[in-house]
A and B are shown apart, each in its own frame.
Chain A
Amino acid sequence: MNIPKIVLFICVLCLFGLGWEKVYAQSSSLDDFVMPVVVDEKVPQTYIEKMLMRLEEFEKDLRLKEKYLIVEDHLAQLGQRYVDFQKMVGIEIHGSLQNQTALQIYQPNRANKIANQFYLSGAGVVSPSIKYFVSGRFKYDSVYANSDHYSDSVESDQKAELELRDTYVDYSTGDWDFRLGKQQVVWGEAVGLFYADVVNARDLREYILPDFEFIRIPEWGLSSEYTKNDFHSQLVVLPGVEFDKTGLATSNFAFPLPLPDSPTLLALQDPKEPKYGFDNSKIGARFSYLFNGLDLGAFYLRSWTSLPVMYRTINAGVYNFNPDYQRQNIFGMTFSKEINDYVCKGEAVYYPDAYFSVIDPTDLDGVKQSGYVDYLLGVDHTYFDRWDVNVQLTQRWIMDYDKTFWRQEELTNGFSIRLSRPWLNRKFTTEILAIANLSTPDFLYRPKVVYNAASNLQITLGADIFSGDSTGSFGYFRNQSRWYSEATYKF
Chain B
Amino acid sequence: MKHITLVGIIVLSLGFLNTNGVAAELTADEIVKKVDEVRNPELDYQTDVRVVSYKPNRPEHASRYDVWIKGRDKTIIKTTEPENERGQSLLMRENDFWAFFPEVSKPIRISLQQRLNGDVANGDVARTNFSGDYSAKILSKSKISGKDFYVLELNSLRDSTTYGKVKLWVMAENFWPVKAEFFAISGRFLKTCSYENYKTLAGQLRPSKLVLKDAIVDGQYSTIEYNEMNIVEIPEKNFTKEYMNK
Which residues of A are at the interface with B, using a C-beta cutoff of 8 A? Answer: 22-24, 26-28, 30, 32-41, 43, 94, 131, 170, 172, 175, 177, 184, 186, 188-189, 191, 197, 211-213, 216, 225, 227, 229, 232, 234, 288, 290, 293, 295, 336, 338, 341-343, 345, 380-382, 385-386, 388, 424-427, 452, 455-458, 488, 490-491
The docked-state distance in angstroms from the alpha carbon of A381 to that of B59 is 28
Besides A177-B237, A381-B113, A425-B61, 14 more A-B contacts (Cβ < 8 Å) are: A34-B211, A40-B200, A40-B205, A41-B199, A189-B108, A197-B106, A211-B103, A212-B103, A388-B114, A455-B62, A455-B81, A455-B84, A456-B82, A491-B83
Q: Answer yes or no: B150 CB below 8 A from chain A CBs.
A: no
Q: How far is the CB of A91 from chain B (nearest CB, A)?
A: 16
Give me 11 A-to-B residue pairs in the complex whose CB atoms sit less than 8 angstroms apart, sorted by A's number.
A36-B176, A37-B197, A39-B208, A184-B105, A186-B106, A213-B103, A234-B242, A382-B117, A386-B117, A427-B61, A457-B84
Residues of chain A contacted by B181 (CB below 8 angstroms): 27-28
Residues of chain A contacted by B53 (CB below 8 angstroms): 425
Q: How far is the CB of B140 from chain A (nearest CB, A)?
A: 11
Q: How many of B's residues come within 8 Å of A, CB to CB? A: 67
Asked if B188 and A28 sit within 8 Å, CB to CB, the answer is: no
Q: Answer yes or no: B55 CB below 8 A from chain A CBs.
A: yes
Our pick among A36, A184, A380, A385 for the contact of B207 (Cβ within 8 Å) is A36
The docked-state distance in angstroms from the alpha carbon of A43 to that of B198 is 14
Asked if A22 and B216 sit within 8 Å, CB to CB, the answer is: yes
Over the window 69-113 of chain B, the binary record of Cβ atoms lying under 8 Å from chain A Cβ atoms (1 yes, 0 no) is 000000000000111101000000101110000111110111111
Q: How far is the CB of B41 from chain A (nearest CB, A)?
A: 16
Our pick among A33, A94, A188, A290 for the contact of B178 (Cβ within 8 Å) is A33
Asked if B196 and A24 sit within 8 Å, CB to CB, the answer is: no
Known contacts A232-B242, A234-B242, A425-B53; decide if A385 and B82 are in contact (CB<8 Å): no
Closest to A27 in B: B189
Asked if B240 and A191 sit within 8 Å, CB to CB, the answer is: no
Closest to A455 in B: B82
Residues of chain B contacted by A341 (CB below 8 angstroms): 111-113
Asked if B114 and A458 sit within 8 Å, CB to CB, the answer is: no
Asked if A232 and B240 sit within 8 Å, CB to CB, the answer is: yes
Known contacts A229-B236, A491-B83; decide if A188 and B106 are in contact (CB<8 Å): yes
The docked-state distance in angstroms from the alpha carbon of A34 to that of B188 is 23
